[in-house]
């Protein structure tokens, strides 16, 4: 038998190592995604065979008032996530990078929410925002006796109450940016100082531009988390009052509860497409494919 | 060294690839052992039935169900055993649907709320075991089944779900030390009941499925001319039009109740909050099923505060002599048609056991309700007499009582929750008129229908 060449042997090894990953990708990602795409064009109760209905699910989805409300909410939340949320996480990273007195303690405290599940987090906020005995109203009542706002269940406060559950919880952003900051060669900072640059100038002209990729990644993470945000809303407002805090994952789950899997998967497809569009836009805006150094 | 690295890498790749195939192998292993049992290689072995149920832990059904399982296991020790597997009630329907999708339905299942799925999948595809012959062979059990329920559970001549034996209508509970009605609530009109409350509050809720609020809403609908018929007609064909006098008038009354008599924590309150409001005397009235008796028992004393005393509680129906109850539902046990004969044998024996007079009486004593076709034993009557709430509950019903399905039985699941609860805060704060509320309900229902 003819022996294999070194290149052929290499190829076999490459495929042997790739096989588990390819199988995982096929079984757990590609097949479900293809099922999602196909069934989004069908009427399907999840039990009997799907019946092809063309674009009906998408037409119904785009006509539905709760989808319109969810889309507007998503735009607002995305704008807040991509600006305020990322700005706050970056600011903390910049502060921690300077290693001021007590920075290790602050870093630890800031990371704590990361070990609390979203479900527990949502329950904590239910107590914080409770209209009768909530922490927030308790504090406000010290200054404004008789103050009565039911933050999670009253328009227009509910939207902002839900927003407050995540907007300052920017651990991922901080970790990503801090990692990039620590990778900046120290001689760049030294050279800038010799040239007379102050700390603000160094931050604006050296640190932030060199963290472009991590900030871009943070924007992607922050906005995609808003697209898929479910637990926080499901455990607090359930999309209410009215449609004030409605979002697409909630529409998807409601459709599943009605055994309308085709419609639910159309909502899932919209989420997937929004995620892809987000990736393309942020990649372009932050020039993430270009080398920084 | 290079050779060793190559061999190690090869082994690693093979192991990782094999791991991917393990789930498939595991399935074969299970069927293998099941086949072994079926072939009778160990015929004397105790047959274990794993029963996935929500009637465990803190669930209201656990108090009568778990002792019943213990009695069954004791009676059939060495022959049959029911092993309870716990799941929370809210996740039950989803779990069973997931198992159905992978063709792994458990042998025995509890009642489910999603009648649409049961009809479209389980019944249509004959996934449930036909209990007709079994009921015919056990006429004493068939006799106990509630007629409406037996009719509803019989589809194309097959008894697809075990019909109900015990009926558990939801009613009104009030703290008689706080609220002293001048006459029975059932003899009042909704407006009379509201004005009789004075400063007393009702433990309403807008969180979760707004259960206590939804019950009163159902009763208010039933009090409208044609309202009871409307509720009764739509347990299968869900309601999609609320733009009529029945619903607008009922919603107007509900708004009055919510604005004048709601406990302070109503907005956002989950069931636990409503329960706590009553048990801490923040509210004097709550609406719920007879399973709530357990909360007023001395054994639940740790939940009471502000001098609440369970013995002060009294029971009555809703104004207009209404109780909320739906016998047109698939609320009973059902058996998977694909289960092995051996597993079906235990499941049927268990059904027989829990449907026996003694077990039914125990259920009624602990969780309330009636078994309309059961001739109660003297022991039961003696014990029931000493149970004040059960006596009041039973006596509250008369021949004119209207028993109607609840609002959540006649609307699409997404309208019952989160649709209806999410609209309530705006109704309370007057941001939404009753007419607009009904329009919104119509919109949500049409949307659910067209999805």
What pLDDT, in 10s, does the model give residues B275-298? 999 999 999 999 999 989 888 988
Cβ atoms A153, B267 nearer than 8 A: yes
Task: Categorize the per-residue pLDDT at A5 as very low, low, confident or very high, splitting at 50, 70 and 90.
Answer: confident
**Distance from B141 to chain A by nearest Cα, in Å?**
32
**Which domains are present in chain A?**
52-285 (1.10.3720.10)
Task: Categorize the per-residue pLDDT at B15 as very low, low, confident or very high, splitting at 50, 70 and 90.
Answer: very low
Distance CA A6, CA A1 (A): 16
Q: Can you give the pLDDT at residue B89? A: 83
Residue among A16, A23, A259 whose CB faces B10 most closely:
A16
- A:117-156 residues touching chain B, CB 8 A cutoff: 126, 130-132, 150, 152-155
Task: Categorize the per-residue pLDDT at A258 as very low, low, confident or very high, splitting at 50, 70 and 90.
Answer: confident
User: pLDDT of A140-151, one tens digit each?
Assistant: 999 999 888 889
A66 touches chain B (CB under 8 A): yes
A242 touches chain B (CB under 8 A): yes
Q: For chain A, give the longest Cα–Cα distance.
A: 92
CATH superfamily, region B171-326+405-450: Periplasmic binding protein-like II (3.40.190.10)
A228 touches chain B (CB under 8 A): no
**Distance from A43 to chain B by nearest Cα, in Å?**
8
Residue among B20, B418, B444 whose CB faces A23 most closely:
B20
A42 phi and psi, to 5 degrees? -130, 165
The helices-and-strands tally (H runs, E runs) of chain A is 17, 2
Mean pLDDT of chain B: 88
Helices (H), B327-433: 341-354, 357-367, 378-385, 388-396, 407-410, 413-414, 420-428
Distance CA A13, CA B12 (A): 11
CB contact under 8 A, B414 and A17: no
Strand partners, B171: B288
The helices-and-strands tally (H runs, E runs) of chain B is 20, 11
Which among B197, B180, B204, B198 is positioned nearest to B263, based on CA atoms?
B204
CB atoms within 10 A of CB A285: 12
User: pLDDT of B336-348, one tens digit each?
Assistant: 999 999 999 999 9
CB contact under 8 A, A257 and B414: yes
Q: Can you give the pLDDT at residue B29? A: 35
Which among B214, B205, B216 is positioned nearest to B271, based on CA atoms?
B205
Q: Can you give the pLDDT at residue B44? A: 64
Task: Categorize the per-residue pLDDT at B39 as very low, low, confident or very high, splitting at 50, 70 and 90.
Answer: very low
Tokens of B174: 């009030």
Cβ neighbourhood burial of B108 (10 Å; 0-12, 13-18, 19+): buried
β-strands B285-288, B171-175: how paired?
antiparallel
CB atoms within 10 A of CB A209: 10
Q: Where are the domains of chain B?
A: 47-163+330-385, 171-326+405-450
- DSSP E strands, chain A: 42-43, 51-52
Q: Can you give the pLDDT at residue A1? A: 56
CB contact under 8 A, A47 and B117: yes
Per-residue pLDDT averaged across B303-322, rounded?
96
Which among B213, B193, B194 is positioned nearest to B203, based on CA atoms?
B213
Judged by average pLDDT, the poorest of B45-54, B86-95, B157-166, B345-354 is B86-95
Residue among B265, B418, B447 whose CB faces A239 most closely:
B418
Judged by average pLDDT, the poorest of A84-98, A210-224, B32-46, B353-367 is B32-46
Q: Would you give the DSSP letter of residue B401?
A: P
CB contact under 8 A, A23 and B422: no
CB atoms within 10 A of CB A57: 27
Tokens of A106: 């602050």
Judged by average pLDDT, the poorest of A74-88, A109-123, A183-197, B257-271 is A109-123
**Would you say residue A59 has pLDDT above 50?**
yes
Share of chain B above pLDDT 70, in %: 90
Residues of chain B contacting A, Cβ within 8 Å: 6, 9-10, 13-14, 16-17, 19-20, 97, 100-101, 114, 116-117, 120-121, 124-125, 206, 264-265, 267-268, 412-414, 417-418, 421-423, 425-426, 429, 431-432, 440, 443-444, 447-448, 450-451
Q: CATH topology of B47-163+330-385 equal to that of B171-326+405-450?
A: yes
CB contact under 8 A, A238 and B421: yes
CB contact under 8 A, B206 and A153: yes
Which among A123, A84, A133, A92 is positioned nearest to A110, based on CA atoms?
A92
Per-residue pLDDT averaged across A9-25, rounded?
92
Cβ neighbourhood burial of A158 (10 Å; 0-12, 13-18, 19+): buried
**Distance from B268 to chain A by nearest Cα, in Å?**
6
For the domain spanning B47-163+330-385, the CATH number is 3.40.190.10
A260 touches chain B (CB under 8 A): yes
Could you tell me the end-to-end alpha-carbon distance of chain B, in angstroms, rounded to an integer?
Answer: 63
* pTM for this prediction: 0.80
């Amino acid at each position: 038998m003819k022996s294999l060449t070194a290149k052929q042997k290499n190829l076999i090894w490459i495929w042997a190592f790739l096989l588990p990953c390819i199988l995982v990708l096929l079984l757990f990602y590609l097949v479900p995604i293809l099922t999602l795409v196909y069934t989004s064009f069908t009427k399907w109760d999840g039990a009997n065979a799907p019946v092809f209905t063309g674009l009906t699910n998408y037409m119904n989805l785009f006509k539905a008032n709760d989808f319109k409300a969810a889309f507007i909410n998503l735009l607002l939340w995305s704008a807040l996530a991509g600006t305020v949320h990322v700005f706050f996480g970056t600011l903390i990273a910049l502060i921690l990078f300077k290693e001021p007195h007590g920075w290790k303690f602050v870093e630890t405290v800031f990371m704590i929410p990361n070990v609390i599940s979203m479900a527990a987090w949502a329950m904590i906020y239910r107590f914080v925002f409770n209209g009768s005995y909530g922490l927030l109203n308790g504090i406000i009542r010290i200054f404004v006796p008789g103050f009565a706002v039911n933050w999670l269940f009253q328009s227009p406060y509910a939207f902002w109450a839900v927003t407050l559950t995540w907007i300052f919880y920017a651990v991922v952003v901080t970790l990503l940016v801090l990692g990039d900051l620590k990778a900046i060669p120290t001689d760049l900072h030294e050279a800038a100082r010799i040239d007379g640059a102050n700390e603000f100038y160094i931050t604006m002209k050296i640190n932030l531009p060199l963290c472009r990729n991590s900030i871009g990644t943070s924007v992607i993470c922050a906005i995609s988390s808003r697209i898929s945000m479910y637990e926080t809303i499901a455990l607090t407002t359930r999309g209410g009052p009215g449609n004030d805090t409605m979002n697409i994952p909630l529409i998807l789950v409601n459709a599943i509860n009605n055994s309308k899997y085709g419609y639910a998967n159309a909502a899932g497809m919209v989420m997937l497409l929004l995620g892809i569009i987000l990736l393309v836009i942020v990649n372009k805006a932050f020039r993430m494919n270009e080398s920084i150094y | 060294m290079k050779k060793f690295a190559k061999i190690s890498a090869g082994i690693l790749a093979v192991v990782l690839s094999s791991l991917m195939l393990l789930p498939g192998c595991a399935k074969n292993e299970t069927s293998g052992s099941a086949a072994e049992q079926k072939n009778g290689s160990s015929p004397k072995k105790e047959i274990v039935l794993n029963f996935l149920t929500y009637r465990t832990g803190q669930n209201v059904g656990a108090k009568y169900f778990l002792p019943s399982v213990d009695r069954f296991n004791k009676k059939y020790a060495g022959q049959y055993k029911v092993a309870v597997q716990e799941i929370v009630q809210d996740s039950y329907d989803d779990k069973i649907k997931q198992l159905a999708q992978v063709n792994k339905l458990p042998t025995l299942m509890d009642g489910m709320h999603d009648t649409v799925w049961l009809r479209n999948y389980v019944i249509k595809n004959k996934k449930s075991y036909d209990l007709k012959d079994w009921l015919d062979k056990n006429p004493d059990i068939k006799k106990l089944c509630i007629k409406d329920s037996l009719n509803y559970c019989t589809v194309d001549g097959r008894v697809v779900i075990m019909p109900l034996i015990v009926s558990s209508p939801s009613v009104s509970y009030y703290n008689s030390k706080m609220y002293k009605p001048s006459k029975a609530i059932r003899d009042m009109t909704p407006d009379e009941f509201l004005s009789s409350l004075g400063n007393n509050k009702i433990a309403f809720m807008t969180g979760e499925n707004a259960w206590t609020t939804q019950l009163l809403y159902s009763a208010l609908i039933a009090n409208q001319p044609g309202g009871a018929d409307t509720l009764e007609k739509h347990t299968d064909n869900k309601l999609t039009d609320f733009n009529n006098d029945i619903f607008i008038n009922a919603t107007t009354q509900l708004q009055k109740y919510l604005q004048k008599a709601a406990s302070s924590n109503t907005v956002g309150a989950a069931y636990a909050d409503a329960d706590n409001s009553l048990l801490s005397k923040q509210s004097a009235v709550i609406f719920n099923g007879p399973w709530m008796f357990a909360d007023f028992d001395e054994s639940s004393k740790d939940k009471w505060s502000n001098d609440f005393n369970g013995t002060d509680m009294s029971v009555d129906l809703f104004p207009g002599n209404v109780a909320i109850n739906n016998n047109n539902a698939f609320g009973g046990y059902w058996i998977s048609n694909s289960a092995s004969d051996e597993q079906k044998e235990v499941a049927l024996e268990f059904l027989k056991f829990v449907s026996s007079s003694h077990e039914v009486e125990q259920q009624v004593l602990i969780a309330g309700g009636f078994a309309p076709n059961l001739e109660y034993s003297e022991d039961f009557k003696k014990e029931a007499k000493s149970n004040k709430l059960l006596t009041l509950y039973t006596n509250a019903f008369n021949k004119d009582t209207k028993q109607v399905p609840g609002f959540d039985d006649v609307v699409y699941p997404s309208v019952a929750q989160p649709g209806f609860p999410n609209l309530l805060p705006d109704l309370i704060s007057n941001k939404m008129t009753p007419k607009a509320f009904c329009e919104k309900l119509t919109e949500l229902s049409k949307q659910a229908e067209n999805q």
